[in-house]
């Protein structure tokens, strides 16, 4: 690694963005889903906008995992080995983090996200795979979300504590630390250790710790809309893994009496806290009364999430769109016929891909629904099949469906869901073509969100903090058909940008399955009476809706807009 490049990066103060997972491109498989892809999009927009940012994450050399599905949809996982040296440079500097009483050495790989605008954001991938470390310690940064609680806490210690130390060691000057989800909270504890007040006579030793100074430096984005989703560690595990980084009573004051709650820790050590959509901000506010929780709705990186044929179309009619997605406001200039033509091009590319993966020949003229995301219970991937007879009646020869998504290796309910979709696709094989594509990743995601006709999403409310795949679809003129949760509450105009499934969002905080039936009923009614007839009989209206998905949804739900808001509301305040 030549030292000049590092010098370039450290010459101005930076925003440090910490995330357990970052999804920049499919060759660097250090992401599991929306959280990581959002982090990648954040960094890409920061580079385009020439924001002074440095990102920190873990190397995860075995990736998340490669999904293998057998003929019945049973998932097995294989490591997704990749070679960092192909994409990044190993830096010489090392830092140590005390774990289980040992000094674990940490090194960093430097990856640069370079934009055509001249922006360049360095991303540090932390790595404990050093010959000097014990074998078990070399494993700490190997797997993303693998292992038990102890393993997870070790990873969070490397990310938070090791990350801060590495930035210091490399000479970075940091003006804000942004924690993307609670996994990075330990960075704030590390900062706290640096900011001890110089008080001579202390009547309460807690006053020594300059919490306000840390709060001023930190920004925290929460992504978890349910209490059970927050990362928690027993103090037994904490002391075993980390000893006592700060006195236990101080840590308990900040992170919770009974167990160390990473979200609570971040909330107590951060001035600016936000949720990832307006509704999620409110849900989080209710979950943590006494803290002020703002909302900055997510967005996706426009250039990354637009397929080739639409890129060409936008270049022709809206030049400059990639770095100024506001130009989508003028999508009305684009003739209907050209929108339809580039859509068919993307659809054909997807159907070719489906054929090569599954051998199944789908029909270019048939209304195609897409559903792809992490396979986990609350996403309710099987809702479309609540009444298979009805689905057959309305969909025979007029509907085809493409699924994809990985279940976390330990998520048995998620795995069962995949098997259920396999079972149903067999049951319906004579009337409706359905495929489930194996090994969902970013590259496949782009093919799917651009190549289907409708993007379907029916999570259990209010569990979809934001959701971002629907924003990607909108960038390719694909309208959303979705439950009113997360971003869609803000992006939905019925029959204009897409369609809602089920009732208006309510104030209820707890999730329950009481609406399953209502949601399914509404899904069927609209599919039968609105989507299918409009698609086949009123192409003009259909293309208008595609245009509105671009002009209203992509126009707003992009990460350039999101980053400008982080700058003005969180970073410089």
Ligand X SMILES: *Cc1c(COP(=O)(O)O)cnc(C)c1O
Please give the residue ranges that form the binding site for ligand X (CB under 6 A): 33-34, 37, 373, 440-442, 445, 467-469, 472
Cβ–Cβ < 8 Å for 100, 239: no
What is the closest distance, in whole angstroms, from the C-beta atom of residue 370 to ligand X in the complex?
10
Cβ–Cβ < 8 Å for 468, 35: no
What is the closest distance, in whole angstroms, from the C-beta atom of residue 407 to ligand X in the complex?
12
Nearer Cβ to ligand X (26/564): 26
What is the closest distance, in whole angstroms, from the C-beta atom of residue 21 to ligand X in the complex?
11
d(CA 208, CA 215): 15
Nearer Cβ to ligand X (141/376): 376
Nearer Cβ to ligand X (64/385): 64
What is the closest distance, in whole angstroms, from the C-beta atom of residue 540 to ligand X in the complex?
29
Nearer Cβ to ligand X (42/469): 469
What is the closest distance, in whole angstroms, from the C-beta atom of residue 442 to ligand X in the complex?
5
Nearer Cβ to ligand X (279/472): 472
What is the DSSP secondary structure assignment for residue 62, as one 8-state letter? T
Nearer Cβ to ligand X (104/418): 418
Among left, alpha and beta (phi > 0; psi -120 to 50; other), residue 365 is alpha
Asked if residue 462 has a cis previous peptide bond (ω within 30° of 0), the answer is yes
Tokens of 146: 């693998």
What is the closest distance, in whole angstroms, from the C-beta atom of residue 528 to ligand X in the complex?
24
Nearer Cβ to ligand X (57/128): 57
What is the closest distance, in whole angstroms, from the C-beta atom of residue 139 to ligand X in the complex?
25
Tokens of 228: 């059970």
d(CA 297, CA 491): 11
d(CA 114, CA 538): 44
What is the closest distance, in whole angstroms, from the C-beta atom of residue 61 to ligand X in the complex?
19
d(CA 178, CA 188): 10
d(CA 108, CA 86): 15
What is the closest distance, in whole angstroms, from the C-beta atom of residue 406 to ligand X in the complex?
8
Helices (H), 306-374: 308-317, 336-358
State how far Cα 478 lies from the chain centre: 20
d(CA 438, CA 447): 13
Nearer Cβ to ligand X (139/181): 181
Tokens of 494: 């019925």
Strand ranges (E), 36-149: 53-58, 66-69, 75-78, 89-90, 95-99, 102-114, 120-127
d(CA 179, CA 42): 13
Nearer Cβ to ligand X (123/442): 442
What is the closest distance, in whole angstroms, from the C-beta atom of residue 421 to ligand X in the complex?
16
b vs e for 453-476, b when ≥16 Cβ sit within 10 Å of the residue's Cβ? bbbbbbbbbbbbbbbbbbbbbbbb
Cα–Cα nearest to 57, from 114, 127, 119: 127
Q: Which residue has the tokens 């500097």?
A: 93
Nearer Cβ to ligand X (99/448): 448
């Amino acid at each position: 690694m030549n030292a000049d490049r590092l010098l370039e990066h450290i010459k101005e103060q930076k925003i440090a963005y910490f995330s357990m997972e970052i999804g920049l491109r499919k060759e660097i498989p250090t992401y599991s889903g929306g959280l990581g892809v959002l982090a990648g999009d954040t960094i890409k927009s920061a580079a385009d906008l020439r924001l002074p940012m440095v990102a920190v994450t873990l190397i995860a050399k075995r990736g998340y995992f490669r999904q293998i599905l057998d003929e019945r949809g049973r998932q097995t996982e294989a490591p997704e080995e990749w070679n960092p040296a192909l994409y990044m440079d190993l830096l010489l500097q090392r830092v140590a983090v005390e774990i289980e009483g040992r000094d674990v050495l940490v090194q960093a790989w430097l990856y640069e996200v370079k934009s055509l605008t001249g922006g360049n954001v360095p991303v540090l991938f932390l790595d404990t795979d050093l010959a000097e470390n014990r074998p078990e310690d070399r494993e700490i940064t190997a797997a993303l979300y693998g292992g038990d609680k102890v393993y997870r806490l070790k990873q969070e210690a490397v990310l938070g504590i090791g990350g801060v130390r590495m930035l210091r060691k490399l000479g970075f000057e940091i003006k804000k630390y942004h924690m993307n989800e609670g996994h990075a909270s330990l960075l704030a504890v590390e900062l706290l250790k640096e900011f001890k007040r110089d008080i001579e006579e202390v009547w309460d030793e807690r006053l020594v710790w300059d919490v306000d100074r840390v709060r001023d430096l930190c920004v925290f984005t929460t992504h978890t809309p349910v209490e059970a989703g927050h990362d928690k560690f027993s103090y037994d595990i904490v002391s075993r893994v980390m000893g006592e980084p700060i006195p236990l009573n101080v840590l308990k004051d900040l992170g919770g009496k009974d167990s160390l709650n990473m979200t609570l820790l971040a909330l107590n050590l951060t001035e600016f806290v936000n949720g990832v959509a307006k509704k999620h901000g409110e849900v989080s506010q209710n979950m943590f009364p006494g803290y002020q929780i703002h909302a900055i709705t997510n967005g996706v990186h426009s250039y990354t999430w637009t397929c080739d044929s639409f890129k060409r179309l936008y270049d022709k009619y809206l030049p400059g769109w990639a770095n100024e997605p506001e130009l989508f406001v003028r999508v009305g200039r684009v003739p209907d016929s050209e929108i339809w033509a580039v859509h068919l091009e993307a659809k054909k590319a997807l159907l070719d891909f489906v054929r090569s993966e599954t051998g199944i020949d789908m029909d270019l003229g048939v209304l195609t629904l897409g559903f792809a995301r992490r396979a986990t219970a609350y996403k309710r991937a099987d809702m479309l099949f609540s009444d298979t007879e009805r689905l057959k009646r309305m969909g025979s020869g007029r509907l085809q469906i493409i699924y994809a998504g990985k279940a976390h290796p330990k998520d048995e309910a998620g795995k069962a869901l995949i098997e259920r979709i396999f079972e149903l696709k067999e049951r319906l094989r004579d009337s409706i073509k359905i495929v489930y594509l194996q090994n969902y990743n970013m590259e496949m995601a782009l093919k799917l969100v651009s190549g289907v006709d409708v993007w379907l999403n029916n999570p259990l409310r209010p569990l979809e903090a934001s959701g971002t795949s629907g924003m990607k679809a909108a960038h390719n003129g694909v309208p959303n058909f979705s439950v009113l949760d997360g971003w869609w509450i803000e992006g939905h105009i019925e029959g204009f940008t897409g369609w809602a499934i089920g009732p208006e969002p309510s104030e209820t905080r707890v999730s329950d399955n009481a609406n399953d039936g209502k949601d399914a009923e509404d899904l069927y009614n609209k599919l039968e009476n609105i989507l299918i007839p409009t698609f086949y009989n009123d192409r003009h209206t259909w293309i208008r809706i595609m245009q509105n998905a671009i002009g209203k949804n992509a126009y707003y739900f992009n990460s350039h807009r999101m980053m400008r808001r982080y700058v003005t509301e969180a970073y410089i305040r």
